[in-house]
Every structure is written in structure tokens, then in C-alpha cells.
Amino acid sequence: MTAPAASAPSTTQIAQVSGRRHRGLVRRVLDRPAGVVSIAYLVLLIVVSLIGPFITPFDPNQNDLRGVLRPPGLDHWLGTDDLGRDVLSRLLVAGRVSLLATAQAVLTGLAFGVLPGVLAGYIGGWFDTIVTRVADVLLSFPSLFLALAIVAILGPGLGNAMLAVGIAYAPRFLRIVRGQILFVRNETFVEAAISTGIPRRRVVWAHMLPNAWPALIIQISFMLGLTLIIESSLSYLGLGVQPPNASWGSMIGGSKAFIEIAPWLVLAPGLVIFFTSLAFNTLGDVLRDEVTGGRER
Amino acid sequence: MTRNSREESAAPTRGDALLRVEGFSLDLAPGREYLSVLNDIDLEVRSGEVVGLVGESGSGKSTLAMSLMGLVPKRISRQRSGRILFNGVDVTALRERDLRAIRGRDVGMIFQEPMTALDPAYRVGDQVAEVIRRHRGVSRAEARAQVIEDFRLVEISDPERRADAYPHELSGGLRQRVCIAMAIACRPSLLIADEPTTALDVTTQAQILELLRRLRAEMDMSIVLISHDLAVIAEFCDRVLVMYAGQIMEQAMIDPFFVRPRHPYASALLQALPENQPPLNELSVLPGSPPPLGYVAPGCRFANRCEFAQAGRCDTHAVSLSPTDAGEVRCIRADELVLEGAGQ
Amino acid sequence: MSAVTEATVESATPVLEGVDLVKEFAGRTSLFGRASSKVRAVDGVTLRLHAGRTLGLVGESGSGKSTVGRLLLRLLDVTGGEVHLGADDVTRARGRDLNQARRAMQMVFQDPYSSLNPTMRIGDIIGEPVTFHRGLKGAELDAEVDRLLISVGLSPEHARRFPDEMSGGQRQRVAIARALAPDPKILVCDEAVSALDISIQSQILNLLLKLQREFGVAILFVSHDLSVVRHVSHEIAVMYLGQIVEFGPADRVADSPAHPYTAALLSAVPEAKPSHRRARQKVVLRGDPPSPSRRPAGCPFASRCPAAFEPCHETRPEHTPVNGGGTAACHLQTQGPKLGGRSLPIELLRARPDEAPSAAD
């Protein structure tokens, strides 16, 4: 397992460059081979996940007890599982579940992190002190551990699990946004915007927040990779998606007993998780290089 | 004032060329591509002379100042032609180690922002002492005594206490005095001052210029002063070089230059000064913006902004410097034009 | 302390007025967040802006001149004193009221590279205040942005550009267009030409003069550069250590200063004209201004003043009228040589050999 959070850039590193122009970021990312490959892979994955349920060769939940644990072959390209279900079909459907869950977690994190982060950075004072203290406490728990605790309270289920992961992430987004807002708060163009007499709300959303976007996008990319792995871990533990539905993680979890006689059951979802997480992290690296001008390498 | 005897014998007498730049052209690569930043620069600084280098942003004046002592990183630069002779030695052919020996010992340098020239982590006295020890090989105590003496020389009051201060504990004016003390510690024959007063208040600027004037007389130093401020140049220098788009456009003695400039660009700059128009009246304006770094043109580089430019004459052939009464000018119409200056 | 009197200015009511403004900043805070000392950056400044006229505010770094501009525009809250916009007291205006008040008073900043949002297009930068204050949208808004661009010497196609695609001079024109967008009565220019090349500086100064003629805006021109201030101003106020030490018609202040600091400042300005260089009497001040946190009891300039005598170190001088208009706050006017409104003879500023002040603190 990679440790994406550790390689995520610090707020200050990005703060130094937030004033820099970041228009054309997408084009510059696409100029890099690593950027093109990871984006192409992710786009393909998203498309396949969207149309997945319509192109499955078999019904993913259809048991076939006469054909269990078949190795990959012409009929079943990726073989069948212990209940005789087509692994490829399940993988396609599970991808949608996994990706949606991942997106849900990150969106939850943004929803709980961005606004308090903006307000903490902008208002400052006691509000900032309280918000950052709470965030620091939450950050001191490992994300997975925190998510487990929240699931224990809310009960198992993918929705609850991802809500939990999102809440666990919120402090990270909060810190990044707060740092960026603090950084641009003293920029002359913000003072200039205030001096024109436009409402404060607009100063914050139109002038300050856009300068936090590059840092936020990088963090989102790393977080997507990390969530995918946490989702897999929770589902593997049986705390995420509930049978008969599948996510990539639960596919591994459900097949662990057969790993010696049917390794493809673990290998197929495992590789997909690995490559997807790698793609998100690579994209994050490329974005960070482009935003910071590659100064950290 | 113990200068190395080898230098002593090589040092020219007053009036000879101490520094001579001949046909120097330099390309810089701030991004991916090389840009022509300095083009065919000829200049001469005589012993004991104060030469001003004036130009707007992107004119190449700071690059030229840095080139004089080989401070332009080789990694991003490419010399196309010419040489820079200091005491008869071609600086452009020297290795970094030899250059380092010249810098600080024979040539002192001061910059616009004294804070960047000083290390915030060390006491200012120790920083000046280190320069002295490196070039002179004297003992710690001797170096310290020299620092105190030099601080007195640059009119820092209470020098013992100030020598123990850290840079951030000093005002901008005092920091610049420390930098000057460091620059003159080895009694250089040439001082290169790049916008030394631009970051300072006007009363502090007057103090620093007064100090430099005194040091120059006492130590018989030559000074190259780089500035965007024509009035500072006028007050301080014997001779002025006007740069535009990487070229020297005019070179002249100070008084004739300010009364009767020979280049239309120089004239336009002088007339744009607010003090040359009655208050609240419109200022005379040079249209357009200074050209970007690396700007080249088939003819005169100033032609597209020049009110005297003639199509077919000024914009076709490169113009070279031609002699005038007070110096040189790079304008083919120089003899036909009678230009306004800053007034008598 | 009513420093500046109406003496020189027509009876017309000022469009913007700062009365006895005081601003204190918390000094360095200790580890546990307690402020160790307060720094009084502005100390009892009164000034008035009139329609169609420019007040030049000169001073060196730390004089508080930029802070005064920000207090007037309510970008900083006052510690004491009042700000009047026409007949309204806007000293404590907040929220919507403050934004409405700001429509009338706009600012142009020093550095055109940092005062424009790098992520916004020029058209949006200028259009934003137009939309908010004047409610224009769509084609009307576009037309107004074009008109503003043209009025500052740019062309409508610049609207689609980003700030980093423009030169320093063009950016400062954009900043001026943005300031003009709400149709203000007052413009505060904070070192608005200091970062520009000479040729660009004269273009921008001409633009400001033209805009004032056309729209009759009142301008507060804050700068350290006396020759520029003199060129654009009708009146000049000179600040030192948070106080106005001299005020008056621009010609009078620049040609026959009544305060020693003004005289020293004028003599420190470098001169391009050879004849002026030779004719000028030099007063080279010793030392730097004292720190605003250690404020002297008497005249703020006493520690550096070549003509200082006993009362200067003990009591703060009041502003007294000066012949030719304006006022000066200097004990020499009322005691010692009792100048009584005459300008300052330069001989008084020759440093006396017995008390050569030490360099710099």
C-alpha cells in the first residue's frame, strides 16, 4: 500500500506559489506523459463504470453452482467465484460502487472542510482557534481508525462508511483551505477588491477561494487514491458494501478463503485497486509539480 | 591599506582605463530560449571616475553590471562576443576561483536591497570581518579592529555595539552602510553600485550618496552607479551611459548631457521628468512601453517609439555609435537634430 | 489638535474629511499573545479633500502617510478621530453602509503586479464594481467596461486578457479603470507611480491629471517623491512620524518651506538640472527617524532637527499660519527666532559644530 497522505504537499509549499498563474493547468498536465496516462486511465475507468451494468457479459449476481471457481477462460474472461458468478461482470459493476463511494467520501470531506476552512482563515481570532483545535484533534487519529469508530456508531453500510471517511478527511481540506486563505488575505489584490466596495462574501468566494483551488485539487487527487484503499479495507472487513452487492474491496474480502486455489479472484480486483490508486496519486504528483513549478523535485 | 603588490604595480594611474568593455554581447535564457540581452557594449571606466548607467526595466543595465564581475550564471547565459578587461585581465576568460579572488578584493559591490546581501543569521561585524580575513589572511583580532575602523569610515555611530548587531536590528540606511563597509573593506579600486539607494528614503539616500562621494575622494575609487533615477545620476556621476533594449544609446559627460542630450530617447526621458514642466501641466510623454527583454529590431531599436524616426532610414539598418563633442551617440540623425534636455 | 485649517482652501465643503485621526497598531506580541506595546502610526491628523483638487501627502517610510489613506477609505479602523464623507459620518459605518460609502472613494495601489487578481480577466476586474454599484449587466456592462478601458488609454480588446499578459504601465491603467468604475468622487493614489519606469510614470501622471479635469475627482496623492507630488498637487501636506508638520499650497510649501523637515526633505531630492544642482543649499540630515513606538514628548522631528532648541524637546508645537498660505507646526515660528509665518531661513539648518548629532538610530 502506498502512503499518499505522506507525499501530499504541505500547505506552505503551495502557499508560496498560489499567486502564480495556474491557468492552462489542464493543458500543462496533459503535456506530461505521466499526466496523460493517468488521466486516460481514469477517464476510461469512469466511462466503463458508468456503462458497466449495461455491458456485463453475465448477470453479476447470478449464481451458477455448477461452474464455481472456474479459472479465466474464453467464456468467463476472468473466471468465476465461489458461487459461480462471473468475475468480470462483478468487477464492472463493483467499479461503479467503488468509484461512487470514493467520490462520495471526498465530497463529504469538502463539504465539511472547505467552508469552516474559509471562515477560519478569513475571520481568524477565537473562531479560528476553536476550528483548528477541533481539526487537530480529528487529524491525530488515523483516518481508517476514525472511520471505523464512526461506522461503529452509525452501523455498517457503504453510505455510512463513506460518510465516516469523508468526516475523517474534512480536517485535511480545512487546513489546506485555511492556509491558502490566510496566505491571500494580505495580498494587495484582496485589499483592492475590498476597497472597491463589493460585499465581503464576494471578496472571499471570487477573489480568495480561487487562489486556493490548485492546492485543493492536488489534495483531492491524493485523497481519491487514499479513499479507494480505505473503502476497500472497510468492505474487506465487511463494514462497507453489503452482499450480494460488490465493491472491489468486498470482492477481495469474500475470496480470501480461496486465494490458494483461485488466486484470480483476489488478483483481478486487487490489480484494479492498485492501478486506480496509482493513477490518482500520479495525477496528484503531476499537478503538484505543475503548480509548484517542479521546485520540490 | 595594504594592497597586494602585484595589483599595485598593475594598477593604472588616474585617468587610464581601469575597466574596459569591448564589443560585449550576451544572451540570457530566463526560460527555454536564449534572448539577446546585451548587444555590442563598449564602455570604459577610468581610474577615479564615476560612471552612471541609466535605463528603464529590461534595458539590460543590471545584467551588464553583473557581467562586469562574472556574476551572470554560465548555466543560463551565452556570451556571443567581446571581452571585459579589468586591469588588463579579461574577466570573461577567468575561472570562478580567480573571479572570486577579484571580487571583494579589487572590486566591491553593493546592491539595492541590503538585506539580501547580509546573512540574517550572523552578526554584521562578523560578516564584514570574514571578507577581510578571506582576502587578507589577517588574524581575528586584526580583522575586528579593521571592521570597527571601517564602520567609523562609513559613519556608523557607536561601531563596537553596531558590529554585534544582527541585520534585522538595523535600519535600512544602516544596513546599506554595513554593505558599503563590506564592499570597501579591501580598499577596492572599483565599486559597482546597483541601485544602492532605490530602496531607501530620500533623506537617507542623500546621506548614502554623500558618503559614497566622500569615500570615492578619500580612497580614489572608481564607481559604476546603476540607477533608473536620472537625477541621482546627475548629482553623483561624471559621465553617463544610457541603455535601451540591450544597447548603449548615448554616452556623455554629465553637464552637456543634461543640457543637450544627443539621442532622442535620452531627450524624451529627461523631458518626462515632472520637474521640467510647470506643476499641474501635462508632462511630455514617451509613448509605448519599454521593450521586453531580448527585443531586437532590424534598424534602430528605439525607432518604433521615436518621434524623429524616418521610415526607410531609421528602421532598416543597425546603427552604430558615433562620436559627439561630449561622448558618443547611437542615432543616424544625431547631427540633424537639436534636442531638449532637462534645461540649464 | 486641529492641524490643518481652512485658511487656504475655498469655503466649499470638503468631499472627504479626516478629523484628528489616530491609529495605533498592536506592537510585537509575546508568546502568549499579549501585546507588549502599541505603535502610534498616525497621531492626530486632520485633512480635507475638495472636488477637483489634489492634496499631496508626502513623507518617508514610517511617517504614516499610507495609513492615513487607508483610514480615510475605512480600509483600516480608526483608533480615534472621525471620517466624514460629505455630510455623512462614516467613521463607524459597517457592512452595506460601508460598501455604499466606498462607491464614492476609491484607491489606486502602488504595485500594479500585486493589486490585480491573477485569476481574473481584466474585463471582470473592472466589471465587478460596475455590476455591484451600478447594477449594469450583459451588453450594458460590456459597453461600460469598454468605455472605462478607453478612458484610461487602453482598448476594448484588453478586457479578455489576464493581468500577467500586460505590462506594468497597462496594469496600472487597469487599476485606475477599476477605481473609476463605481464613478467615485474621491481617488486615493498610494505611491501609484513609484513602481513604474520614468516614461510610464509620466503617462500615468498625465492620465490622472486628465481624469481630474474631466470628472472633477478629488485626489489624495500619497508619495515619498516630492517632485512628483509637487507636479500633481494643489496643496501639499508633509508628514513626519504620524503627524502633519506642514501644510499649504503646493508652490508655497515647495518653494518656501516653513518647517525644517520640509526644507530638509526638499534639499535631499536629487536634481537633474545642472544649474539647480549648483545653486541648491544642501541640508543633509543625520540619522533615521525614531521608532514610532518610542514617541518623543516634544516635536517629533526634534531629534534630527539641526535647528532644535530647548522647547522642541519638551512640548509639541501647535500649527500656526504661514505667510503665503497653510500652516506649520514648529516652535521656531513662535519662539526663538520668532519667524511668525515667514519661511525658514536656510542658515538655521546649518548643523552647529558643537552638537553634531550622531548618525542613525
C129 to chain A, minimum CA–CA distance in Å?
Answer: 6
Q: How does the average pLDDT of chain B come out, rounded?
A: 88
| Residue A2 clears pLDDT 60, i.e. is over it | no
pLDDT for residue A288? 79
Q: Given A21, A22, A196, which is nearest C102 (Cβ)?
A: A196
C-alpha to C-alpha distance for C109 and A117, rounded to whole angstroms = 29
| Residue C284 clears pLDDT 70, i.e. is over it | yes
For residue range B54-102, list pLDDT tens digits in order.
Answer: 998 889 998 999 899 888 888 889 999 999 999 989 999 988 888 888 8
pLDDT for residue C28? 58
Which pLDDT band holds residue C12 (cuts at 50, 70, 90)? confident
Backbone φ and ψ for C46, nearest 5 degrees, come out as: -120, 125
C-alpha to C-alpha distance for C42 and C19, rounded to whole angstroms = 12
pLDDT for residue C32? 54
| Residue A289 clears pLDDT 90, i.e. is over it | no
pLDDT for residue A102? 87
pLDDT for residue C38? 80
Which residue in this structure is represented by grid cell 459605518? C93
Q: Given B201, B204, B282, which is nearest C206 (Cβ)?
A: B282
Mean pLDDT of A265-280: 85
Query: Is C132 close to A196, i.e. CB distance below 8 A?
Result: yes
More confident residue, A105 or C283: A105
Which pLDDT band holds residue A141 (cuts at 50, 70, 90)? confident
> How many helices (H) and strands (E) in chain A?
13, 0
pLDDT for residue B182? 92
Mean pLDDT of A40-56: 83
C96 to chain B, minimum CA–CA distance in Å?
Answer: 37
For residue range B4-26, list pLDDT tens digits in order.
Answer: 444 444 444 455 789 999 999 99
Mean pLDDT of C157-182: 92
Number of independent structural domains in chain A: 1
More confident residue, A151 or C266: C266
> Residue B333 carries which side chain, given as an amino acid letter?
R
Cell of C154: 487602453
C-alpha to C-alpha distance for C94 and C31, rounded to whole angstroms = 32
More confident residue, A1 or A290: A290
Strand duo B190-194 + B222-227: pairing: parallel
Number of independent structural domains in chain C: 1
Q: Given A21, A197, A211, which is nearest C129 (Cβ)?
A: A197
Cell of C233: 498637487
pLDDT for residue B302? 94
| Chain C residue with Cα closest to A18 | C118
Instruction: Count how many Cα atoms sit within 13 Å of the Cα of residue A178 in the half-sphere of its side chain.
Output: 24
Does the CB of A186 have a partner CB in chain C at under 8 Å?
Answer: no
Cα distances (Å, whole numbers) of residue B75 to A282, B30, B39, B78, B102:
30, 10, 19, 8, 21
Q: Select, from the ranges A110-119, B110-119, B272-281, C295-304, the one with the highest average predicted confidence (pLDDT).
A: A110-119
Q: Which domain holds residue C79?
A: 6-354
| Chain A residue with Cα closest to C120 | A207
C13 to chain A, minimum CA–CA distance in Å?
Answer: 24
Query: Mean pLDDT lowest for which of B199-213, B297-311, C242-256, C277-291?
Result: C277-291
Q: How does the average pLDDT of chain C come out, rounded?
A: 86
Within a domain: A176: yes
Q: Given C60, C209, C232, which is nearest B203 (Cβ)?
A: C60
Buried residues in A3-22 as b, exposed as e (16+ CB within 10 A): ebeeebbebeebbebbbeeb
- Asked whether the beta carbons of C359 and B157 are under 8 A apart, the reply is yes
Cell of B32: 527555454
Query: Is C114 close to A22, i.e. CB distance below 8 A?
Result: no
C-alpha to C-alpha distance for A32 and A39, rounded to whole angstroms = 11
Which pLDDT band holds residue A15 (cuts at 50, 70, 90)? very low
CB contacts of C358 in chain B (<8 Å) are: 157-158
Instruction: Count how many Cα atoms sit within 13 Å of the Cα of residue A281 in the half-sphere of its side chain.
Output: 19
Q: How many CB pairs under 8 A join B and C?
A: 152
Other C-beta atoms closer than 10 Å to the C-beta of A137 total 10
Q: Which domain holds residue A136?
A: 4-17+36-55+83-292
Q: Given B201, B280, B342, which is nearest C272 (Cβ)?
A: B342
CATH number where C149 lies: 3.40.50.300
For residue range A212-262, list pLDDT tens digits in order.
Answer: 888 888 888 888 888 888 888 887 777 777 777 777 877 877 777 777 777
Query: Is C272 close to B272, i.e. CB distance below 8 A?
Result: no
Buried residues in B103-123 as b, exposed as e (16+ CB within 10 A): bbbbbbbbbbbbbebbeeeeb
Cell of C99: 460598501
| Residue C79 clears pLDDT 90, i.e. is over it | yes
Q: What angle do CA C220, C221, C223 make, to 5 degrees?
A: 140
Mean pLDDT of B266-272: 92
Mean pLDDT of B173-191: 91
- Asked whether the beta carbons of C301 and C244 are under 8 A apart, the reply is no
Mean pLDDT of B259-271: 93
Instruction: Report the neighbours of A using a cutoff of 3 or more CB pairs below 8 angstroms.
Output: C
pLDDT for residue A139? 84
Q: Given C199, C251, C270, which is nearest B231 (Cβ)?
A: C270
Interface of C with A (CB under 8 A): 73, 75, 96, 98-103, 106-107, 109, 111, 114-120, 128-129, 132-133, 162, 164, 175, 178-179, 181-182
Q: How does the average pLDDT of chain A come out, rounded?
A: 79
pLDDT for residue B7? 41
Mean pLDDT of A59-84: 72
Within a domain: C360: no
- Asked whether the beta carbons of C55 and C46 are under 8 A apart, the reply is no
Query: Mean pLDDT lowest for which of A97-111, A167-181, A237-251, B267-281?
Result: A237-251
pLDDT for residue C29? 53
Query: Is A197 close to C115, i.e. CB distance below 8 A?
Result: no
DSSP letter at C155? -
DSSP letter at A208? I
Query: Is B275 close to C227, i.e. CB distance below 8 A?
Result: yes
pTM equals: 0.83
CATH number where A271 lies: 1.10.3720.10
pLDDT for residue C361? 39
- Asked whether the beta carbons of C240 and C301 are under 8 A apart, the reply is yes
| Residue C67 clears pLDDT 90, i.e. is over it | yes
pLDDT for residue B244? 95
pLDDT for residue A89? 82
pLDDT for residue B11? 45
B94 to chain C, minimum CA–CA distance in Å?
Answer: 35
Within a domain: A28: no
Query: Mean pLDDT lowest for which of A242-256, B27-41, C123-137, C173-187?
Result: A242-256
pLDDT for residue B276? 81
Q: Which residues pair with B78 in a beta bridge?
A: B27
Radius of gyration for chain B, computed over Cα atoms and rounded to the nearest angstrom: 21
pLDDT for residue A23? 56
DSSP letter at B305? G
More confident residue, A101 or C149: C149
Buried residues in B248-264 as b, exposed as e (16+ CB within 10 A): bbbbbebbbbbbbbbbb
Nearest to C107 by CA among A199, A183, A188: A188
Mutation target vs C (from B59, B235, B285, B340; most C CBs, 10 A cutoff): B285
Nearest to B128 by CA among B61, B202, B191, B181: B181
Q: Given B201, B283, B290, which is nearest C202 (Cβ)?
A: B283
Contacts of B234 (CB under 8 A, 6+ apart): B240, B254, B258, B342, C270, C271, C272, C273, C274, C277
Within C105-167, residue ranges assigned H as helices are 122-134, 138-151
Which pLDDT band holds residue C140 (cuts at 50, 70, 90)? very high
Cα distances (Å, whole numbers) of residue C281 to B200, C189, C264, C266:
22, 31, 10, 10
Contacts of C39 (CB under 8 A, 6+ apart): C24, C25, C26, C27, C291, C292, C293
Query: Which percentage of chain B shows pLDDT scores above 90?
Result: 54
Q: Where are the beta strands (DSSP E) in C59-207?
A: 80-85, 88-89, 105-108, 186-190
Within a domain: C361: no
CB contacts of C133 in chain A (<8 Å) are: 197
Strand duo C54-58 + C235-240: pairing: parallel
Other C-beta atoms closer than 10 Å to the C-beta of A126 total 8
C-alpha to C-alpha distance for C120 and C101, rounded to whole angstroms = 25
pLDDT for residue C82? 95
| Residue B209 clears pLDDT 70, i.e. is over it | yes
- Asked whether the beta carbons of C67 and C243 are under 8 A apart, the reply is no
More confident residue, C272 or B43: B43
Which pLDDT band holds residue C276 (cuts at 50, 70, 90)? confident
N-terminal to C-terminal alpha carbon distance within chain A: 23
pLDDT for residue C229? 94
